[in-house]
Amino acid sequence: MSTARQVEALLFAAAGPLSEDDLTRRLPDGADVAGAIAALRQDYAGRGVELAPVAGGWRFQTAADLEFLMTEEKTEPRRLSKAALETLAIVAYHQPVTRADIEAVRGVQASKGTLDVLLELGLVRMRGRRRSPGRPITYGVTDAFLEHFGLANVSDLPGAAEMKAAGLLDLQLPPDFAPPDPGREVEDEDPLEPDDAPDFHQDFLGEEQG
């Protein structure tokens, strides 16, 4: 029986690299382990699997130029905090809203980081500016929000009870709380100007100063 075949079988079945001493102990006396390894390396050269020296031993592994085939990229879903979920629900149901509006509904100061996350994830967008002192930025939800929650449009938003059951809302809201009409005219909002802050960080600062 060929020593190379025996070495091949041992390396194939091994859970980790095997040294030449490991192989020698398992093979018949006088087996040419070094010669068998050299022969196997030559036989496997240029193939999808190669015999490679690893950690003082030898093992079969995917050829270096084919390692990209073994890589699978996965996107881990980013879990939103309770504050972010509540803020998202407020924006969806009350849009267009300002940061001050969000604070009024939640009863706590809005965190810059919370809106920042929602903007970064593409669930919320800057819509325009309120026609009020300071002209604060207004926010609304995006198509990505509708796609994520399987909605055709904003009017398909569930009622407050369903939102609470889904864990998206945990607030004491007025009894007349209802989904907005996406087709309604908003008279106290102007569109964003070209020179308006392109990102949330600048907008937040401008809103604070305004």
pLDDT tens digit sequence for 159-170: 656 656 665 555
Please identify, among 70, 99, 122, the residue that sits at the C-terminal boundary of a domain: 70
Residue 89 has φ and ψ, to the nearest 5°, of: -65, -40
- Which residue range(s) make up the domain with 160? 82-209
Please identify, among 11, 46, 70, the residue that sits at the C-terminal boundary of a domain: 70
Domain annotation covers residue 76: no
Domain annotation covers residue 192: yes
Residue 15 sits in the same domain as residue 90: no
User: DSSP code of 105?
Assistant: H
Please identify, among 40, 70, 100, the residue that sits at the C-terminal boundary of a domain: 70
Domain annotation covers residue 75: no
Residue 108 sits in the same domain as residue 169: yes
Residue 116 sits in the same domain as residue 159: yes
Residue 57 sits in the same domain as residue 111: no
CATH number at residue 43: 1.10.10.10
Quote the pLDDT of residue 39.
Answer: 92
Euclidean distance between CA atoms 157 and 96, whole angstroms: 15
35 pLDDT band, cuts 50/70/90, is very high
Residue 136 sits in the same domain as residue 196: yes
Residue 129 sits in the same domain as residue 195: yes
Domain annotation covers residue 138: yes
Residue 155 sits in the same domain as residue 51: no
- With a threshold of 0.85, does the pTM exceed it? no
Q: Which of 59-63, 117-121, 124-128, 150-154 has the lowest mean pLDDT?
A: 150-154
Mean pLDDT of 42-51: 89
Token pair in block for residue 170: 């945990």
Using CB atoms within 10 A of its CB, is residue 3 exposed (0-12), middle (13-18) or buried (19+)? Answer: buried
Residue 193 sits in the same domain as residue 93: yes
Phi-psi region of 122 (alpha: psi -120 to 50; beta: other; left: phi over 0): left
Higher per-residue confidence, 59 vs 105: 59
Residue 57 sits in the same domain as residue 118: no
207 pLDDT band, cuts 50/70/90, is very low
Residue 124 sits in the same domain as residue 171: yes
Token pair in block for residue 126: 């800057």
Tally of CA atoms within 13 A in the half-sphere of 151 that contains its CB: 18
The number of folded domains in the chain is 2
Q: Does 112 score more than 70 pLDDT?
A: no
Residue 194 sits in the same domain as residue 173: yes
Residue 112 sits in the same domain as residue 50: no
Token pair in block for residue 209: 């100063």
Domain annotation covers residue 128: yes
Question: Hey, which of 64-73, 100-109, 141-150 has the most confident mean pLDDT?
Answer: 141-150
